[in-house]
Structure 1
Amino acid sequence: MLTLYLGCLALGVIFAIVSVLVGDLIGNALGGIFDLLSFDFLNSTVLAGGVTVFGGVGVLLTRYSGLEAGSIVALSLLSAAFIGVLLYFGVVKTMDKSEVSNGFSMQDLPGKIGEITVPIPSKGYGEIMVKFGAGNTLHTAASFEHQSIPVGMKIVVVEVREGVALVTEFEDRRGEGS
């Protein structure tokens, strides 16, 4: 049994090192072939951690306790399951919620409020800055109503055509009527 535990410990450590060093390369090379089989709780972090803990606890209990083989297997499995649950809820679920992407689609622009950074002539292009998440993005823009818009004006994106944001001046009507 000691050989099984040492093998699991070594396999878990090697898997962790390999996935840190070349995990993305392998995932991209396989083209997401395993995505169909993926379950949230069968994350590679959880599995590698569980296998490593199973092997480590098994080695320690075999060498330093007087327990029988069945008890050692049971305690190793319980330890691996416990650490797997901790990894899942402490790392995997937490990281899923904390992931922030700075990627966006031009189709997300309509309805966004921004500011003119390069003036937009009545017939031509300028530039706008729109806040996406924690950052700002710059986009080529033209006037939706074919009117010039000076720098610093607040705008709202009406639509996107051929990669150009069509904008109009933003009127804040929340303060009116009070």
Structure 2
Amino acid sequence: METLYISCLAFGILFAFVSVVLGDILGSFLDGALDFLSVDGPGIFQPAAIAGGITTFGGAGLLLERYATLDEGATVLLALLIAAAGSMFVFFLYVRPMRNTEATSGYSMQELGGAIGEVITSIPAQGCGEVLIRIGAGVTNHTAESFEGKDIPTGSRVVVVEVKLDVLAVATMDERGEM
């Protein structure tokens, strides 16, 4: 049984090394062939949680076999219980929070309606300029035209009134934040 425990422990260490240290590097070279190592599996049966359970089984079994005075069946059963607890520990304290923190910086142009921005390239009455709009923690710049058909100077605060195909129609705001 000691060989089984050492093998499980070695597998877990190798899995951790490959998925954490080399996962992104190898994944880019192998064009996504290692994507199964990510945290996107079904329910509690995530690859990282299962590998954590196997590693815990190997480590717990090895320690129990060497230092506890239990028979072989009790050692395996206790190692399995500890492995299940370790697997759940990995799932609830690592995998699940990582899945919930995935965020994207992508946005749709349609989401910009009502957004407040600043003119960075003046907008002529009949033409286009450029506005800077804050999206989440970042900023983005877009081509803009005057919704009211008036010149809008650089540095003016504007609000997106209409989102067209490639252009934002904006209107100026006064100091009080009103149009």
TM range (shorter): 0.7 to 0.9
Q: CA deviation at 1:145?
A: 3.2
Q: Look up the match of 2:95.
A: 92
Aligned length in residues: 174
Unaligned runs of 5+ in 2: none
The one-letter code matched in structure 2 to 1:91 is: Y
Q: CA deviation at 1:73?
A: 1.5
Q: Look up the match of 1:17.
A: 17
C-alpha distance in structure 2 between counterparts of 1:99 and 1:163, whole Å: 29
Q: Look up the match of 1:65.
A: 68
1:122 to 125, 130, 134: 125
C-alpha distance in structure 2 between counterparts of 1:8 and 1:159, whole Å: 60
1:54 to 54, 57, 69: 57
C-alpha distance in structure 2 between counterparts of 1:53 and 1:23, whole Å: 21
C-alpha distance in structure 2 between counterparts of 1:141 and 1:106, whole Å: 12
What is the root-mean-square deviation of aligned Cα atoms in Å? 3.0
**What is the CA deviation profile of residues 114-164 of structure 1, one whole-angstrom value per residue up to 9, with x for unaligned ones?**
222222111222221211112222222222333221223222223333432
The one-letter code matched in structure 2 to 1:14 is: L
Cα separation, partners in 2 of 1:31 and 1:139, compared to 1, 3 Å: farther
C-alpha distance in structure 2 between counterparts of 1:77 and 1:147, whole Å: 73
Q: Percent identity?
A: 43
Q: CA deviation at 1:32?
A: 6.3
The one-letter code matched in structure 1 to 2:48 is: T
The one-letter code matched in structure 1 to 2:160 is: V
C-alpha distance in structure 2 between counterparts of 1:31 and 1:158, whole Å: 45
My pick for the range that moved more, 56-65 or 41-50, is: 41-50
Q: Look up the match of 1:4.
A: 4
Conserved? CA contact 2:146–2:152, under 8 Å = yes
**Is residue 29 of structure 1 aligned with residue 32 of structure 2?**
yes
**What is the CA deviation profile of residues 29-88 of structure 1, one whole-angstrom value per residue up to 9, with x for unaligned ones?**
3496899x9213222221221111111111111122221122111211111221222222
Secondary structure at the aligned position of 2:44 is classed as helix
Q: Look up the match of 2:151.
A: 148
C-alpha distance in structure 2 between counterparts of 1:150 and 1:102, whole Å: 29
Q: Look up the match of 1:79.
A: 82
